Each structure stands twice: as C-alpha cells, then as structure tokens.
Amino acid sequence: MRNMIILISGVVVLTMLFCVAPLSAVAAGEKTGVIVVDMQGDFTTWKKGTLAVNGADEAYVKKVADATALLKEKGFVLYGTQDWHPRNHISFASNHPGNKPFEAIQVNGKTQVLWPDHCVQGTDGAKVLLDNNIFQAIVKKGQDPRFDSYSGFQDDGGSKTEMDTILKAAGMKKLVVYGLATDYCVMATAIDAAADGYKVVVIEGLCRGVAPDTTVKALEAMKAKGITILKEIDMKRINDL
C-alpha cells in the first residue's frame, strides 16, 4: 500500500492506492486507454440508485475517482460509457404490464431481463458521477428502445456505438476497463473490446458485481477470452502486455 498526494481542482487529497507495483508513467510503445464503465448514480447505493449494485457506496466511488485521476496524471487517455435510456426502453419492467423487475421474458426471440427504470435520459440518476471533464469522450449506450445494451461497443441488436471508431482514431491498442457492473456492462464491454482486437485488462478491485455467482462466472468468461484480470492497478503488468 502506498500513500500518495494528488492535486484535484486545486484541492490536495491524500489517497491510498493498492498496487502490486509502483505507479509510473505509461511506457513508450502501444497506446493505452481507460474505459470507466457506467459510473452513474442509479447504479450506486451512495445515490440510492434505482438499480444499485451492492458495494457501490460512497467509498467505492471515491476509490474509482482517485484511481482514475491518477491514471490520467500518468498519461492514460480516459473514456467513459453512460447508460442513456429512453423511458420506453424494452428492458424496463414498467413497460411490460404483469411482469416484475428481475424477471426474464422472451421478446422477439431473445431472453430479456427486466430491470427497474434506470439511467433515464436527462435524469439525475443517469449522470456520470466522476468529473466529466477528465474524459476524452463519454459514449452513450442503450438509446434504442428496442434493444438492451450492456456493452460500450454495441447493443444487443448489433448496432455499434462510436467507441471503437474513437479508440482506433486515437491509436489505442490496449485498454484498462473497470466500473459497474462486473457481471454485466464491464464484462460485455471488455469482451467486445477483446473481439475488436484490443489487449484488455480489467481491474477487479475497481468493479462491483450485481451478484456473487454471476460475478465469478463473468471473471472466468473474461479470462477465457484472453482478458487479463488484476486485483488492483499494476503498471508493470499493464505495460508488459
């Protein structure tokens, strides 16, 4: 464990980041980006979100904010994803009379998990909780009411977001991924990134999962796709990929 003092918006903050190896500048060579997945109020217990993930409390959000600020300081380019649903979204249980949140139904030949209304466009719960100015881009997803969208790269109907285009235009070759939730949007984003040819690292300690069993399965699924899972940020491991 290493104590570090950083300056954020003119305020000195003492933070502790758990690292296997000391943080150092990004090594020369392949460009590495960071994707912070769905750090939005509706997914946190801190903001009493409508679809709060267990463990996504104020301390967790602060840990993610501190780690993200440090990565930017060390030369990483930051990107975010943001659920941005219309009120008539297919995944909302409220749009399926007679069904309840967390039930699974068949819609157009696909299994659809029904969720409480969350991250509705323009609402406080949809806001990204980190300083939006630190991101090169925040990619919105889930805007098509007909399809769910866990991945920051595409929705369940196969429509691509601009994420891959943005990353390739910037010359990114490696990606560090973390956020909410491990077993849904983090997993989908990481797996699609690997499928698009990026070397991918997921920081488990900067994620939280919806359920323990699906989180374990998600970590194994990501490993099976060649994704590196790190407990905490380890610059040497990331640079060595």
Catalytic residue, from 185, 192, 199, 234: name it: 185
For the question of residue 155 being annotated catalytic, the response is no
Residues with Cβ within 8 Å of 114's Cβ and at least 6 positions away in sequence, in order, are 91, 92, 93, 96, 99, 100, 101, 102, 103, 104, 105
- Residue carrying the six token digits 């989180």: 215
Given 47, 63, 140, 141, the catalytic residue = 141
Q: Annotated catalytic, 124?
A: no
Which amino acid belongs to residue 193? A
Q: What angle do CA 133, 118, 50 make, to 5 degrees?
A: 105
Per annotation, catalytic residue among 19, 38, 174, 207: 38
Whether the CB-CB separation of 241 and 201 falls below 8 Å is answered with yes
Q: Which residues are catalytic?
A: 38, 141, 185
